[in-house]
Amino acid sequence: MAVGKGWEGVVLKLLRGKDFTFTVTGAESVTDHYRRVHFTDGGLLAAAGDSLHPTMWVRLWFAADGKPHQRAYTLVDPDREAGTFSLEFALHDGVASDWARGAVPGDAIEATVQGTGFTAPDPEPGRLLLIGDPASLPAINSLLGRYPGTPATIWFETQHEADEDLPVRLDPERHEIRRVARTGGGAGLVDRVRAELPGLAPDAETAYVWLACDTVTTRTLTGYLRKDLGLPKHRVNSLGYWRPSA
């Protein structure tokens, strides 16, 4: 069923957003709090052409209480030839999670592509410094895949015991993950990063930090990286992925 997109849809159309319809081919529960849904792409990957990039995301449209809601999700394992990809949902209370829990083959959902982008760091980093949580895991995995020979340190915030089992695509010879239990509304993660990251980024011009957490934590860490550590804007890629509830 088509979802009216309201004023947000009008704005995205004015910004030349492209609309697609995805069809569910299957779904699986990775943990009780994390679900992967598989799709045919409705022509998205062919249309993307050379603009397909790591961390690429799409806006899905959901309807609840007669109103449209859009949420952004990162493409997982896009296969241009087959015209397929997956999306992964960190489950909580909300319209998107409810949809993902009930998704079955044949279900269709509308999507818009607008605003996604990735600027490859130049020069390439000697080490990836990645900060995220289950919501940003697909993007983290896509970066590890984009730079398979580059060492990486990942600070990964967890909320549930099952988050320890999420599929982080680590190469044990090159990657290390530092799991941090969520405390203080993200303050625990901020403290760990402030204590540990400076020693891994001795050169501000060649360091590269990618972070995507809740909006408050992302804002706090971005300010720290830019102002306190003096990292240039083009060496810090940050985006608030979700808003913590009151």
- pLDDT (tens place) for every residue of the chain, 246 residues total: 456 565 455 444 534 579 999 999 999 999 999 999 999 999 999 999 888 999 999 999 998 888 888 999 999 999 999 999 999 999 999 999 999 999 999 999 999 998 778 888 998 999 999 999 999 999 999 999 999 999 999 999 999 999 999 999 999 999 999 999 999 999 999 999 999 999 999 888 889 999 999 999 999 999 999 999 999 999 999 999 888 764
Q: What was the pLDDT predicted at 15?
A: 41
Rg (CA), the chain: 18
pLDDT of residue 160: 93
The encoded tokens of residue 192 equal 């760990």
128-238 architecture in CATH? 3-Layer(aba) Sandwich (3.40)
Distance of CA 234 to the CA centre of its chain: 19
pLDDT value of position 10: 46
Q: What is the pLDDT of residue 32?
A: 95
C-beta contacts of 46-50 below 8 A and 24+ residues apart: 46/80, 46/83, 47/18, 47/20, 48/80, 48/113
Q: Supply 141's token pair.
A: 């995995």
CATH class of 6-113: mainly beta
- Give the per-residue pLDDT at 244: 78
Task: Show me where the domains of the chain are located.
Answer: 6-113, 128-238
Residues 5 and 1: their CA atoms lie apart, in Å, by 12
Q: Do 128-238 and 6-113 have the same topology in CATH?
A: no
Q: Model-level pTM greater than 0.85?
A: yes
